[in-house]
Structure 1
Amino acid sequence: MIKRIDATEEAKKLIHELAEKHGDLMFYQAGGCCEGTQPQCFEKGGFFPRMNDAMIGLVEGYEFWVDRDLFEYWKYAHFTLDVLDGFGPGGFSLETPLGKTFKVHYRLFTEDELENLTAVKRNE
């Protein structure tokens, strides 16, 4: 099966650092507004996905949720979670005090990949 999300080595290192400090994590990527579709990292349970939001996979064992409307736009794309130096537009994410910000790179799935994608979990 083809995963819908992966992470760079830099993102993985930061995730482990955040997990050591905060415990279990979760990610949520909203559809816009003040955070500008920046992926946000929270302590698990620190954010509640809305009805029909999509959990597209796990990043280092932690759920990565996508806003239901944004997922409809990006459902044919692979996500790669990365991290950059600097502050994202929202500042609500756990990496912000470290002077870091998560970012997603996208690429379209190939036709072969589309036939073998892992299932999406919907929040009901």
Structure 2
Amino acid sequence: MKERLIITAAARDLIHELAEKHGDLMFYQAGGCCEGTQPQCFEKGGFFPRMNDAMIGLAEGYEFWVDRDLFEYWQFSEFTLDVLDGFGPGGFSLESSLGKTFKIHYRLFSEAELKDLTPVLRNA
């Protein structure tokens, strides 16, 4: 099965650092404008996905949720979770205090990959 979510080494390292400091994590990528579409990292239970939001995979074992409308737009794409220096969405995401921000890079799946995608989990 082809995974929908890929994680860079830099993002992996930051996730481990955040988990050490905060415990279990979760990710949510909203469908707002501008910085609102950047993924945000919260302590598990610090944010609750809405009905029909899509859980597209696990980031180092932690759920990665995408806003239902944003997922409909990007459903044929691979999400690569990366990290950059700088401040992201208003300081709400845990990595902001470290002067970092998570970023998603998109790549459209090939026709062959589309036939073998891992299913998403929808929030009921």
Fold match (TM-score > 0.5): yes
Deviations 1:68-118, CA, capped at 9 Å, x for gaps: 000000000000000000001321000000000000000000000000000
Partner residue of 1:18?
18
1:2 lines up with 2:2 in the alignment: yes
Partner residue of 2:110?
110
Which range moves more in the overlay, 99-108 or 85-94?
85-94
Deviations 1:42-66, CA, capped at 9 Å, x for gaps: 0000000000000000010000000
Aligned Cα RMSD in Å?
A: 0.9
Q: Which amino acid aligns with 2:94?
A: L
Distance 2:55 2:89 in 1: 23
Distance 1:105 1:90 in 2: 20
Partner residue of 2:28?
28
Q: Which amino acid aligns with 2:119?
A: A
> Percent identical across equivalent pairs?
81
Q: How does 1:85-104 map to 2 (within 5 A)?
A: 85-104=85-104
In structure 2, do the counterparts of structure 1 residues 78 and 34 end up closer, same or farther at CA, with 3 Å as the change threshold?
closer
Q: Aligned residue pairs: how many?
A: 124
Give TM-score, length-normalised by structure 2. Answer: 0.97
Preserved CA contact (<8 Å) 2:4 2:79: yes
1:65 lines up with 2:62 in the alignment: no
- Unaligned runs of 5+ residues in structure 1 are none
Partner residue of 1:54?
54
Distance 1:9 1:107 in 2: 18
SS at match of 2:40: strand
Preserved CA contact (<8 Å) 1:34 1:90: no
